[in-house]
Amino acid sequence: MQLGQDETPLDVGQQRQVRPIDATDERLFSLWSMVDRDTMGNRYELLDDLVDDSNEIAHYHGHGQHGGSVSGRIVIKRDFEAAYKRLCEQYFNGDESLYTAQQFKRRYRVSPSIFEKVYQQLLGKGVFRRPDKLDACGRKGIHPLVRMTAAFRVLAYGCGADREDENLSIGESTVHDAVKSFCKLLIQEFGDEYLNRTPTVAERNRILKHNKTRGFPGLFASWDCKHFVWDNCPVALQGQHKGHHAGGKYTKILEAIADGSCYIWCVHFGAPGSCNDINVLDKSSIVGALLSGQLDLKTEPYEINGTIRDWMYFLVDGIYPNWAIFVKTIAKEAREATPHLDFYASRQEGVRKDIERAFGILVKKFHVLARPIRTWREDDMRNILYACIILHNMCCAERLEVTGQDVVETEYHDDYTDEEVNLTTADGGEQFIFNRVPVPTSDAANDMETLMTERFHRVNALYNHLSDPEKHLQLLGVRTDLVAHLSGRQAEK
């Protein structure tokens, strides 16, 4: 090909290595051949531009200049079949397993029956698909039992994702995917049963009976918050997540309620660490569940010191507001001179430790929560925490099925009798909340606007009854009746 008058050949050092022409380049070169030489000048410069465009298009379609594996990637030939057989011989070979059921529970943090229940429910979903298909080399993939074992080990020990590669022959990225998929599927399959729900009638009666033996009739659970360190908190969010907890580290707050068996009924997670318990309460989904009726506190009428009530209450610490559903302790200065106030405060603080014990068990059982959580996304952190709570609640439910009842403290035991409450008291002391709340009429069911208006009035009235400080101190003084109740029981003894 002859060069034009204004065209000069490229230097050898400037010549570009052009890959072979394929179907993607045909259209580009056809356009190049139609270009007028006089108007476009040097066609070699145009050729360089077209080659750059061709490479960009090829890279967009996934056909880069480098074919095959990623450049610099190390290929490790792992024996997936041997890892699966070794795991079965260690834990899943029945009575002939190398390790006992007690060692299984110690290392998986759940009993073999709970693990089997979770495994059968998640099998075939997400990354835990059955290894029936072969890869391009004719080998079977990683067995779902190995993937789930790796996810349990990460939650239990809080170790790095590549820690189990030596024993389970599973790579770091594969473990990351297994943990994320496991947490999401666990919440999806078991969240409705073990997280954020109202107790059944049998469960409510068991809780009320247990708390009455402890000296607190009508008590449902304890309410508190806990901070979890977010190790990979983005720089843009570090200001709002830095508080006085954990030495000024960046934290996320978990708000939860737990009963005497350490079963965590409702949780709210996501508030930044700079908030306190009151700020978290203002945006709490647990309060929203109370108002919407998802968490129903209405119960059969019960009597405390001659006063009848129809709602369950919570034990909280001193920072919480004076709401009708919150029963707080008494300040040390106010109870020093009065023995019965000191006795009530010690009992309230002791029973309120239910939520503290639940937090302690949760952190000690799943070390991924005891250490700074190394995730970049807030939803991944939430899924890990909720998955650990679901597994914890499954263990609590299994323990209750075995024992049949909660463990009652020997320090104080009230004589419980299933006597009926006399609704016609001598002083007329009836303090009902839910009977005062308006109920949507059946006639408004077909009128959406009227129905939503009535529901709004109901929620607004319920919120006023539950959160009014004046009613808490004057009309709905649960703490005053509890002080008299505990003092009377102590005097009888």
The per-residue pLDDT string of the chain (493 residues; one tens digit each, 9 = 90 and over) reads: 444 444 444 444 444 455 555 555 565 556 556 555 554 555 555 555 555 555 555 544 444 444 556 666 777 888 888 999 999 999 999 999 999 999 999 999 999 999 999 999 999 999 998 777 777 777 788 999 999 999 999 999 998 888 889 889 999 999 999 999 999 999 999 999 999 999 999 999 999 999 999 989 999 999 999 999 999 999 999 999 998 777 789 999 999 999 999 999 999 999 999 988 888 888 889 988 888 778 888 888 888 877 788 888 899 988 888 887 888 888 887 777 677 788 888 889 999 999 999 999 999 999 999 999 999 999 999 999 999 999 999 999 999 988 765 544 444 444 444 444 454 443 444 556 555 555 555 555 566 666 666 666 666 666 666 666 665 554 446 677 777 777 666 666 5
CB 308 within 8 A of CB 452: no
Indicate the DSSP class of residue 284. Answer: -
Q: What is the model's pLDDT at position 43?
A: 54
d(CA 96, CA 111): 17
d(CA 144, CA 123): 7
d(CA 124, CA 128): 5
d(CA 206, CA 219): 11
d(CA 328, CA 315): 6
d(CA 227, CA 272): 9
Contact partners, residue 19, CB within 8 Å, separation at least 6: 55, 65
Q: What is the model's pLDDT at position 182?
A: 97
d(CA 380, CA 341): 45
Helix ranges (DSSP H) in 158-171: 165-168
Residue 261, judged by CB atoms within 10 A of its CB (0-12, 13-18, 19+), counts as buried
CB 392 within 8 A of CB 258: no
Q: What is the model's pLDDT at position 289?
A: 86
Q: What is the model's pLDDT at position 421?
A: 46
The residue whose two tokens read 């405390």 is: 304
Helix ranges (DSSP H) in 267-420: 277-282, 285-292, 332-335, 339-351, 353-365, 367-370, 378-403
Alpha carbon 172 to its chain's center: 23
d(CA 286, CA 21): 63
Alpha carbon 85 to its chain's center: 33
Q: What is the model's pLDDT at position 405?
A: 57
